[in-house]
Structure 1
Amino acid sequence: MADTTADTAPVLSLHQRILGDVEQNILSGRWPPGHKVPSEQLLAEQYGCSRMTVNKVLTQLARAGLVQRRRKTGSVVLPQKAQSAILEIYDIREEVKALDRPYSHDILQRSLRPADKAERERLDLSQRQKIVSVTCLHFAGEMPFCLEERLINLAVVPEAEAEEFHDLPPGPWLLGHVPWSAAEHRIAALGANEVAAQHLQLGAGTPVLVVERQTWRLDQSVTHVRLTYPGESHALMARFTPMQA
């Protein structure tokens, strides 16, 4: 049974609001490369906060390579490096629909709790930070299609504290609520562990395909997910082109 959470969404801190607004202006192209970011003083007046708060936001954006800070002329938007990913972040619903089968999902577990040591190391969290842990089973028709085990960093996605994921599964919900700037995949062919075997209706040790993915927003981890697919019914394919000089 899913744990209950507060009915109201948490209020974003001023730091999170300013970071989100400036980041969105850059990633959406509204502020193109070379655009001069409003000064610390102007941003502080706009948001009704101290210049120190604005300074911390701009420092975080500079570490992530979105802006360049100049002592006398202020901050400017940097060009973003062209990147191509071998694996995109797919919506599992679309994978099922591509098989011409009806999609559904079931939230098996959802909890709001402090991260344990291994989770803190994986997401680079402090000891006091909380996460949302979600286990979701995706179906293609009546058959289990994928077991999703996900951790969400509430410091980056505070809205997840009040989200139950019954209407929309965690993956597309996150894609619609927070932009990500980097992702890492790890793919392995393994034998199904006890949890995966039970939910995917497989024998223990049956071959499965495991995709682990972690995404970042600037220099903060957004989420880590472990996706387990029955090995005999799933394959990954990628198309790519040679890098251009």
Structure 2
Amino acid sequence: MNATAPHILAVDDDPAIRELLTDYLTEHALRVTAVDSGEAMQRVLQAELVDLVLLDLRLGREDGMQLARALRETSQVPVIIVTGRQDEADRVMGLELAADDYINKPFSSRELLARIRAVLRRYQLMREMMPTRDDRRRGYRFEGWELNLRSRRLTSPQGQRVELSNGEFNLLQAFCAAPQRVLSRDQLLDLSRLHGAEVYDRSIDVQILRLRRKIEQDPAMPLYICTERGAGYIFNARVESLE
């Protein structure tokens, strides 16, 4: 297996499931470490770089929810939780703990692979957008507008300050970081969370509508924040980074 392949850490106390996951995911260009306990999970996380954790919430002698909570408190590694088909409360709790996705047992191997790849793609985009320690960028300019990242201010082409909520500011920052690129609602949610915004999936469209009202000449026919039907949104503006 290529050492650069994404590394998946699977935590499940069923040896048959661990074998199935290892064989199937390895066949599809993923590197897999499969363990049966939270203690073993922590050892792997401390010793190796892990790109995603696949965590069964119903471990025999351990509370998978507590493991998920501890994992999220100490790490930003993506997490997909595995639950029983009837365990709606577990799914809700897991997502509230900021798990990235969930899948029900018994699951389709193809569906699991698709979900893993989708989460990995989202986090790859996030890594591309995250500022590095030596990033001296102080803001963005687009079509005469200026977004100052340090003061969190938006200035219009006429020099007037435009008030933005935290959610609106972080969405605009995400758009400016990825101009001319289609961003899904999930990606916008993840990118917004990078900067501390409390933006929830059901309100992304509402936040975008409010942002359009503030920067578009005609919000009903936007020139900048355009909808890509069935895919998400694209920021159709020429963006310049300011240092």
Give TM-score scaled by structure 1 length.
0.27
Which is strand-richer, 1 or 2?
Answer: 1
Q: Which has the higher contact order (CA 8 A, sep 6+)?
A: 1
Give TM-score scaled by structure 2 length.
0.27
